[in-house]
Amino acid sequence: MPEYGDSPSSKIYDGIFSIGEIIGGHESKPHSQPYMAVVTFINKDGKKHRCGAFLVQEDFLLTAAHCRGSSIIITLGAHNIKEPEKTQQKIRVLRAIPHPQFNNQSSKNDIMLLQLEKKAKLNGAVKVLDLPWNKGKVSPGMTCTVAGWESTLAEKYPNTLQEIDLTVRKECKYFKYYNRSTQICAGYPKKRKASFQGDSEGLLVCGKVAQGIVSYGNPDGRNPRVYTRISSFLSWIKKTMKSHEY
């Protein structure tokens, strides 16, 4: 497991930690974050794993590049991931496109596009989330929201979407590979509150705009955590989606 000052452990990227946990979070209002999706795939160990992603176009989602495998299926419109809700849409992934310069040791360029075999049907439970196209920058001190499934402090609803507010920090000196230009640091380093345990899940939303993707941190629940800064990859996202239009 990674320690402060160390690079992310490769074991995390191999999917040993599943969907992740939000410590100190609370259950989201059902479908209040309709862009969230569950990614189910087979990892190289031959076992089924889950990650999180979010819809940025009817046929494209964004997630972390370390969340990869085979036989990928996306579930949209979910609130309780253990229940066959009528709002859910399950769609196979046509292609997974990780950033070409992704490095799973340093977590550099930890971002990936997933193209669906068919377009998702947009409705009240399934919507696209805005990317930060000229939507302002994330600044230290801002309060943003992180969402994901399986909260350790919400045992009554262990399979429902959870969320919690985090504060964006100026620096992330706890990790030697942190790069402020392409990553965001958020959390409370002296508190256990508001942290993901696990690595492969979560989206940082600031002002109803997608700003970060959970990349890495300490799986023991300590803060802060590092998020891929989406605004640094807008050119790559736009170019890649355009090159793979149906």
**And the tokens for 217?**
């941190």
What are the tokens at 26?
A: 């609370």
Measured distance CA(151)–CA(110) in Å, rounded: 24
The alpha carbon of residue 28 and the mean position of all alpha carbons in its chain are separated, in whole angstroms, by: 16
Residues in Cβ contact with 104 at an 8 Å cutoff, skipping those fewer than 6 apart? 8, 10, 13, 65, 66
**Distance separating alpha carbons of residues 200 and 213, to the nearest angstrom:** 9
C-alpha distances out from residue 241 to 32, 100, 142, 228, Å:
26, 14, 30, 19
Using CA atoms, how far residue 18 sits from 14, 68, 112, 181, in Å, is 10, 12, 18, 28
Using DSSP, state whether 231 is helix, strand or coil.
helix
Catalytically active residues, by annotation: 66, 110, 200
Q: Which run of H or E residues covers position 235? A: helix 234-243
Looking at this protein, which amino acid is placed at residue 15? G
